[in-house]
Structure formats: structure tokens, C-alpha cells
């Protein structure tokens, strides 16, 4: 099988690191390039080569990515953040290699949570009711203000906020539901345009990232219907993620959609949902993704250390997998 070069962005975060670990797990002959906005992070030891890049919204980001693609003869770029999905998607035709993202339309809609609400409302797809701050006057018993294009759980304000102090361009207000939080990964084949399957996990979060989750099945029929409708009404492709609350009455209320491979990819591959592998096999080797064979399970995340002995500081390192390191 021909060796391919894959660029994974955002290797400083759990999403990018999970993607790289899952690429290794495939056993495919892959050369893995990593990028990040900082020069040294916990993901450096996972990749064959590393490049520092600007933030995705920086004007220098796209030229930097084009230069990396050209220099490494990359076959595929796998973005791990919403902003990178959006900005790389806008230059897909000139990037010089394949890109593991949805279409530009879906990337724009699902980057912005308020646009997501408007889009879902237009097509009758469930989503938590949302307002711009200028239109919010206490319509909800419990409310949450969040950045329209927020990353993780930063910038959230629950109930105690003044909507007049928030910009419509930057913020939105959603009804805040109580119940079980679930995360649903869906895979829509790049080759057949059909949804091959999904995996739903109940989860708890710490510092904006999943720290515990377990596979659950009772909501899959409803969520599959939502995902099918979402796919009909946009150019979603590959892996995407629906975050929802299940209320005490059993109602499923999506409140965010990530139009990319999401942060639990490192967990769910062990439960039968191998969206990273499906992505590279479809795009690089033209092998249609199979129907996932989901297995039950629970997962708990822990903190580990990457230790580089016998150096004064990171400037002495190659900052990739060739360095001598210890995982403890």
C-alpha cells in the first residue's frame, strides 16, 4: 500500500492528539505532520514532523498552510478546530491536496451557533432556542450567553449577565436546559454521501472537555433522523458531532454542532466508531466506510506527562517523535 502524508492541525489540543493516535492505530503507512499555534506542546512527540502556524483567522494562516502542503508533498489535511475547518474550506481548491472537511456552506453555518439556530429553525431541525443579545429580554427561565464562535467552554455566562453589555456580533443567548448531556458522532461517507452510522455517549466535562463518558443507545433513532435531515439541508461530509441535552421528559435538545472530527475520537474508536480511520481510508485509499459495529463501554480520561530527560529546555529538541521521551 502506498505511503501517504497527512497533516493534522491543532496537535496541542485533545482533538488533534486523538486524531494522530488514531492514525497510528490504523496501521496504514502514513507520514504524519503536525501543526499548532505554539511551538511546543504535548502533541509534538506524536508526529513525524512539526510546523508552527498562525491562528486560523490570521491572514498569514492560509499561506503558511499552503507552504507546508507544498514542502511536505502532503496528500491530506485533517483540521481539528472549527476555525481551521472554516478557513481551510474556503481555500480547498487552491490548497494543493485533499481536505477532510464538510463543504464551505456547512462549515460556515456550524462555525456560528446563531447561524446554526437559524438554519435548523428554517428546516425544522431541533435546536435550542436562541436569541441575539439585543433581542433577549428574559424569555427563558434559565439562560446561557455564549460566544457565537466560541471554542470549548470559554466565555460562557449562566443567568447572571446583562444582555445589553453583549455584542450581537460576538454573543448569543440560548435557553439553558437541565438533564443528561450527550455527544453524538456521525459519519457521512465522502464516497456515497450516505450516513454509515453514529455513536452516542452520555458524558461529563471538565474544563470544557469530556472527562467521563459511556455508550448509550436509546436516543439513536431520533438522532439518526436529525442527522439525516441535517445532511439533506447542507453539505456536511465525513465526521460531525451533535451535542445535546436529554431533558427529564426525554426530549433531545441539540445545542451545538461541530462540523469536524470531535474530541472524543480517541475514545470512540475503541467502541467501534473509527471515524478517523474511515476518513483516511475513504479520501486516500478510496475504500468506502463500513457500517460501524458499536460496542458498549465507559471511559475516564486521566492526565499523563511527556518527559524529555537530559535537556536544558525545549530548544534542544526536534519537537517531534524522534526525540527521546518518557510517558508517565
- CB atoms near residue 233 (< 10 Å): 17
Asked whether residue 119 is domain-assigned, the answer is no
Beta bridge partners of 246: 180, 252
Asked whether residue 92 is domain-assigned, the answer is yes
**pLDDT reading at 210 higher than 90:** no
Q: pLDDT band at residue 274, thresholds of 50, 70 and 90? A: very high
Q: pLDDT band at residue 153, thresholds of 50, 70 and 90? A: low
Q: Residue 53 sits in a domain of what CATH number?
A: 3.40.50.20
Can you tell me whether residue 14 is helix, strand or coil? helix
User: Is the pTM of the predicted complex or chain greater than 0.75?
Assistant: yes
Asked whether residue 325 is domain-assigned, the answer is no
Asked whether residue 184 is domain-assigned, the answer is yes
Asked whether residue 206 is domain-assigned, the answer is yes
State residue 152's pLDDT score. 62
Beta bridge partners of 30: 4
pLDDT digits (tens, 9 = 90+) for 158-186: 988 999 999 999 999 999 999 999 999 99
State residue 140's pLDDT score. 94
Q: Residue 240 sits in a domain of what CATH number?
A: 3.30.470.20
User: Cell 455527544 appears where?
Assistant: 183
Q: Same domain for 279 and 196?
A: yes
Please give the angle made by the CA atoms of 89, 84 and 34, to the nearest 5 degrees. Answer: 115
User: Cell 450581537 appears where?
Assistant: 168
Please, what is the average pLDDT of the chain? 95
Q: Report how far Cα 99 is from the mean position of its chain's Cα atoms.
A: 14
State residue 3's pLDDT score. 94
Q: pLDDT band at residue 93, thresholds of 50, 70 and 90? A: confident
Selection from 125, 120, 103, 90 nearest residue 238 by Cα: 103
Q: Same domain for 238 and 280?
A: yes
Which domain range does residue 225 map to? 106-112+177-300
Q: Same domain for 39 and 73?
A: yes
Q: Same domain for 203 and 284?
A: yes
Q: Same domain for 164 and 191?
A: no
Q: pLDDT band at residue 260, thresholds of 50, 70 and 90? A: very high
Asked whether residue 254 is domain-assigned, the answer is yes
Q: Same domain for 255 and 245?
A: yes
Beta bridge partners of 173: 131, 145
Can you tell me whether residue 200 is helix, strand or coil? strand
C-alpha span between 169 and 148 (Å, rounded): 8
Q: Same domain for 194 and 278?
A: yes
Q: pLDDT band at residue 151, thresholds of 50, 70 and 90? A: low
State residue 166's pLDDT score. 95
Q: Same domain for 166 and 183?
A: no
Q: Same domain for 171 and 186?
A: no
C-alpha span between 198 and 185 (Å, rounded): 5
**pLDDT reading at 150 higher than 90:** no
User: Cell 433522523 appears where?
Assistant: 225
**Measuring CA to CA, how many Å separate 77 from each of 21, 97, 154, 302?**
15, 7, 26, 28
230-258: average pLDDT: 96
Selection from 107, 173, 111, 171 nearest residue 137 by Cα: 173
Q: pLDDT band at residue 209, thresholds of 50, 70 and 90? A: confident
Overall number of domains in the chain = 3
State residue 205's pLDDT score. 79
Amino acid at each position: 500500500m502506498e505511503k501517504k502524508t497527512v497533516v493534522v492541525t491543532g496537535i496541542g489540543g485533545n482533538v488533534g492528539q486523538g486524531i494522530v493516535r488514531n492514525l497510528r492505530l490504523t496501521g496504514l503507512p502514513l507520514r504524519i505532520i503536525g501543526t499548532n499555534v505554539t511551538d511546543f506542546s504535548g502533541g509534538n512527540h506524536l508526529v513525524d514532523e512539526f510546523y508552527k502556524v498562525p491562528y486560523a483567522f490570521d491572514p498569514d494562516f492560509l499561506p503558511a498552510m499552503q507552504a507546508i502542503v507544498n514542502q511536505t508533498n502532503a496528500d491530506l489535511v485533517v483540521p481539528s478546530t472549527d476555525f481551521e475547518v472554516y478557513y481551510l474550506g474556503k481555500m480547498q481548491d487552491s490548497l494543493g491536496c485533499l481536505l477532510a472537511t464538510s463543504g464551505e456552506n456547512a462549515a460556515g453555518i456550524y462555525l456560528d451557533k446563531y447561524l446554526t439556530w437559524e438554519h435548523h429553525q428554517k428546516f425544522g431541525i431541533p435546536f435550542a432556542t436562541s436569541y441575539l443579545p439585543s433581542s433577549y429580554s428574559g424569555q427563558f427561565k434559565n439562560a446561557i450567553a455564549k460566544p457565537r464562535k466560541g471554542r470549548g467552554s470559554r466565555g460562557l455566562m449562566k443567568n447572571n449577565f446583562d444582555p445589553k453589555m453583549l455584542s450581537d456580533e460576538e454573543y448569543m443567548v440560548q435557553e439553558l436546559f437541565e438533564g443528561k448531556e450527550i455527544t453524538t458522532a456521525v459519519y457521512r461517507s465522502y464516497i456515497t454521501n450516505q450516513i454509515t452510522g453514529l455513536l452516542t455517549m452520555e458524558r461529563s466535562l471538565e474544563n470544557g472537555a469530556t472527562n467521563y463518558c459511556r455508550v448509550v443507545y436509546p436516543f439513536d433513532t431520533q438522532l439518526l433522523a436529525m442527522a439525516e435531515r441535517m445532511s439533506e439541508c447542507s453539505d456536511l461530509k465525513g465526521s460531525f458531532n451533535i451535542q445535546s441535552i436529554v431533558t427529564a421528559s426525554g426530549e433531545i435538545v441539540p445545542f451545538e454542532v461541530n462540523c469536524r472530527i470531535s474530541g472524543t475520537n480517541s475514545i470512540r474508536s475503541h467502541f467501534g466508531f473509527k471515524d478517523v480511520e474511515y476518513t483516511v481510508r475513504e479520501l486516500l485509499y478510496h475504500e468506502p466506510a463500513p457500517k460501524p459495529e458499536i460496542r458498549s463501554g465507559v471511559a475516564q480520561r486521566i492526565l499523563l506527562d511527556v518527559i524529555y530527560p537530559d535537556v536544558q529546555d525545549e530548544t534542544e529538541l526536534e519537537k517531534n517523535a524522534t526525540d527521546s521521551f518518557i510517558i508517565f
